[in-house]
Amino acid sequence: MAAKTKKTTSTKPAKDITQKTRLWLMYPAKQITHPVIWELSQKFKVITNVRQASVTDEIGVVCLELVGPRSEITSAIKWLEKKGVKVEPVEINVLES
């Protein structure tokens, strides 16, 4: 029987390079009056760029471009989701039936 060799699995995170991510944000009604994007830019090291927006008293839809290290973008997305904002890629339904 072959001797068991210790598996070396790399747990190193992917390189934290600067990237550009384009997202559709959908605000629930209770977040519409809050300066969510300003707050995001204060909390995370990302450049925010609003490319499209449509806000009514019922729903807010914003197309946002984020530029920054991947880890910061990932944290920013998590923070947005915690606030109840739906975050989708600009392509929307990538995962199809």
Partner 1 sequence: MEKQVGFMKALKCRECAREYPLAATHVCEFDFGPLEVVYDYARIGSSITREKIMSRPQTMWRYRELLPIANEPTVGFQVGYTPLVKATRLAKKLGLRELWIKNDTVNYPTLSFKDRVVSVALSRARELGFTTVACASTGNLANSVAANAASAGLKSYVFIPADLEQGKVINSLVYGANVIGIRGHYDEVNRLCAEIAGKFGWAFVNVNMRPYYAEGSKSMGFEIMEQLGWQIPQHTVVCMASGSLLTKIHKSYQEFSKLGLVKDASYKVHGAQATGCSPISTAQKAGLDFFKPVKPDTIAKSLAIGTPADGFYALKVMKETGAASDDVTDDEIREGIRLLAECEGIFAETAGGVTVGVAKKLVASGKIPANESVVLCITGHGLKTLDAVVGHVGRPREIRPSLREFEALLDAEAKSPIVS
Q: Is residue 35 at the binding interface for partner 1, with CB under 8 A as the rule?
A: no
Q: Which stretch binds partner 1 (CB under 8 A): 3-11, 35-43, 56-64?
A: 56-64
Nearer to partner 1, 41 or 61 (CB): 61
Of the candidates 92, 30, 97, 37, the one whose C-alpha atom is nearest the C-alpha of residue 62 is 37
Measured from the CB atom, the residue of 5 and 11 that comes closer to partner 1 is 11
Per CB under 8 A, does 17 bind partner 1?
Answer: no
